Amino acid sequence: MKIRQATLDDREIIWTMLRDYKSASPLNAHTNVDETTAKSMVELILAHNRGIILLSEENNLITGMLIALYTFNLWDQKIRYMAELAYWVDPQYRGSSAGYRLLDEYRKIGNLLIEQKEIQYYTISKMINSPDLKYDRFGFEKLEETWLCQVV
């Protein structure tokens, strides 16, 4: 299993995984979402260096992804950080090292960007249906919980 940065040639597989990610989402609002925004975000990240897209790969098959965007803090526009947008491993590769390796590479890149003063911090979210990973093992500290009220 290896981790690599995505290229523009990976767009189709990324969009396929984003569709799977959306279908598995517990957020009802994702049910009928148009893909235009997701596709533009992938283009923005890949073509204009506005974030990172990491892919896990085994035997030339893409098994997972982690997408993160460089953005600014709402309260202080001088503070730039990296926010994870989607973290997905194909169900048949869950339990392999794909998820661990994606998260570890995200951590390495985040730490390097902090050292280079490109960002001040980076974040990752955990959805209710995500595996119970030990994020603190990777240096993350729990900051908040998000609660949702939605029409079913």
Identify the band that residue 110 occupies on the pLDDT scale cut at 50, 70 and 90: very high
Mean pLDDT of the chain: 87
To 10 degrees, the CA torsion angle through 27, 138, 8, 45? 70
For residue 72, is pLDDT > 80? yes
The residue ranking higher by pLDDT, 140 or 60, is: 60
Spatial separation of the C-alpha atoms in residues 39 and 56, rounded to whole Å: 20
- Using the structure block, give the residue that is written with the tokens 């990324």: 14
Arch. (CATH architecture) of 2-138:
3-Layer(aba) Sandwich (3.40)
Identify the band that residue 7 occupies on the pLDDT scale cut at 50, 70 and 90: very high
For residue 77, is pLDDT > 80? yes
Other C-beta atoms within 10 Å of 22: how many?
17
Spatial separation of the C-alpha atoms in residues 126 and 87, rounded to whole Å: 9
What's the distance, Cα to Cα, between the start and end of the chain in Å? 39
Identify the band that residue 89 occupies on the pLDDT scale cut at 50, 70 and 90: very high
Average confidence (pLDDT) over 47-57: 94
